[in-house]
Every structure is written in structure tokens, then in C-alpha cells.
Amino acid sequence: MLPEEKLKQAAKKVVGLKQTAKAVEKRTAAMVFVAQDADERVVRSIIEECAATGIPCHRTLGMDELGKLAGIQVGAAAVAILADESR
């Protein structure tokens, strides 16, 4: 299954920079998505933390597309699938 499909089907996820950063910091994120058109300065810490902890981080899709996949009507710079949903 493609990572984007997992995101679309995941029941437990967090949307937005702050919530995604918290999930990565607390190690509750199983997979992270960062919008390719998000400002690098804004998402760099999430990407670096994912790399340091081994959490898969996908730099894919635009903010609008990522927001739609996450089930919201606006763009999202970052989204995380929570640990028990990644399988």
C-alpha cells in the first residue's frame, strides 16, 4: 500500500505543524508527511527529528493535497499517522 493510501485510510492522525511535532517528539507518530511546498524553515525541525528517531518521513504532495488526504478542507504543512495505525 502506498504511504498516501495509508494516510487516507488512517483513523488516528494528527494534522498541522504543532500537533505533528508533538507526536514526533513523544514518539507516538508512526509515519509523517510533510508538504513539498511547505517552507523549509518551518518544517526542518520535524524532518530532522524524524531522521534522528527513525520515523518514516515522506516529503510529498502539496499542502492543499495533503490537507485533503488528511480529511480537512484547508492545506496542511504536516500530518502524522499515529503509531497504532501504521500497519
CA pair distance 23, 28, nearest whole angstrom: 5
Whether pTM exceeds 0.85: yes
Mean pLDDT of 75-87: 82
Q: Phi and psi of 19, rounded to 5°?
A: -70, -40
* 38, 78 Cβ separation under 8 angstroms: yes
CA pair distance 37, 60, nearest whole angstrom: 9
pLDDT at 9: 86
For domain 3-85, the question of CATH label 3.40.640.10 is answered with: no
Query: Nearest CA to 38 among 10, 15, 71?
Result: 15
pLDDT at 7: 87
CA pair distance 2, 23, nearest whole angstrom: 21
Confidence category of residue 10, pLDDT binned at 50, 70, 90: confident
Mean pLDDT of 30-41: 95
Confidence category of residue 60, pLDDT binned at 50, 70, 90: confident
